[in-house]
Amino acid sequence: MNETKNLLELFKTRKAHWSDYAEFLELNENELMPFFNLALEITRKEFKNLLKIYIPNKRFPALSITGNECALGCEHCNKKYLDNMKPILNNSELEEYLLKLADSGGVGILLSGGCDSEGSIPILNFLDTIKKIKNQTKLIINTHTGLLNEETASKLAEANVDIVSFDINMMKRLSGIFTISKKV
């Protein structure tokens, strides 16, 4: 229990490292409530009661950088969401599409795709283009990343993406989608 309190303190002071997040994922269900309460406290402090919802549509399209390919085929998705996303398979396509979207009054995008065998969406090679677009437009960029490594997380921050979304399926009773967002 003392280890859990120490881990919670690292999260509160924002001094947690990658190994601490791995430790968090190993916690028992009955140890998670203080972390959820902290997440709610931080969310309310940063965003007050503001909730912005972006549903994929013509002005906020969902793009897949893997087409309809996914190595996992998870039960909750089984590639069905990929079928409704516009395939964008390289950086030049992405840049051209986003500039046209911005010029035509678009709001932003969900940049997603299928996962590799490790549970990650191969977004790293697209982040220089995203950074360029963020510097040239006011588009809101929501990246659905799958599992992150430290390099990709750092590049996401450098690219100045607005929202990072990822699936967390920790246990049957606590599965869902959590989103970390900065103020926009």
How far is residue 126 from each of residues 14, 56, 129, measured CA to CA in Å?
28, 20, 6
Question: Is residue 29 scored above 70 in pLDDT?
Answer: yes
Q: Which tokens hold the place of 98?
A: 């986003």
Domains, in order of start, for the chain: 1-49 (no CATH), 52-181 (3.20.20.70)
Question: Is residue 123 scored above 90 in pLDDT?
Answer: yes
pLDDT band at 118 (very low <50, low <70, confident <90, very high): confident
Q: How many helices (H) and strands (E) does the chain have?
A: 6, 6
Q: Looking at the DSSP assignment, which residues form a beta bridge with residue 136?
A: none
Q: pTM for the full model?
A: 0.72
Q: Looking at the DSSP assignment, which residues form a beta bridge with residue 15?
A: none
Query: What is the three-class DSSP state of 113?
Result: coil
Mean pLDDT of 68-77: 83
Q: What percent of the chain has pLDDT over 70?
A: 90
pLDDT tens digits, one per residue of 73-115: 777 778 888 999 999 999 999 999 999 999 999 999 999 999 9
pLDDT tens digits, one per residue of 46-65: 878 777 778 889 999 999 99
Mean pLDDT of 139-143: 96
Q: What is the DSSP letter of 146?
A: B
